[in-house]
Amino acid sequence: MNRPVIFLDFDGVLNTEQYQARLAVEGKPNKDAWGPLFDPRAVENLRLIIDNTDAAIVISSSWRYLHRLGSLRMMWEVRELPGEIIGTIPCGATYISRGEDIECWLDKYGRPDYVIIDDLDDFFPAQHDSFIETNPIVGITEADARKAIEILTSNA
């Protein structure tokens, strides 16, 4: 694989506490058939990364247990989200950690430049240079997006 990869969590990254609270206060729907709606600001910050790197997306979110890959791709299309989902973790039959699952995915599919965007640190020390920890209240910020672009283009 030559394209860079984003290992993407949803809750605390795209699904933010701030946006869910705002929808509740405004009395607007906060979910659809797939689950909570994503914060438009966070989505635009993800779009910034993809527009600048052409990165593909591998879903590391726990949503992968609720929805098959085809359903996640359909959600991506219906919600008009940026980028292309090329897969999910876990790779193995037994869950150990997201870090372990990402290593398994990299061993199986190659080692492109990658970034991990998550609100929880469940990763190996060697992965920390590629890890962006988001604040679950606001999700992925523009500063996070700029850091991700730097990580994904540093070897280009």
Number of domains in the chain: 1
Predicted structure pTM score: 0.94
Read off the pLDDT of residues 85-142 as tens digits, 9 standing for 90 and up.
999 997 656 667 889 999 989 999 988 899 999 999 988 888 999 999 999 999 999 9
User: Which of 37-46, 82-91, 146-155 has maximum average pLDDT?
Assistant: 37-46
Mutual angle of helices 40-53 and 17-26, in 10-degree steps: 140
Q: How far apart are CA 156 and CA 152, in angstroms?
A: 8
- Residue 135 belongs to a domain with what CATH number? 3.40.50.1000
Residue 14 and residue 66 in contact, taking contact as beta carbons nearer than 8 Å: no
Q: Show the domain range for 16.
A: 5-153
In the sheet with 5-8, reading across from the earlier edge strand, the strands are 85-88, 56-59, 5-8, 114-118, 131-133
**Partners of 36 in beta bridges:** 31
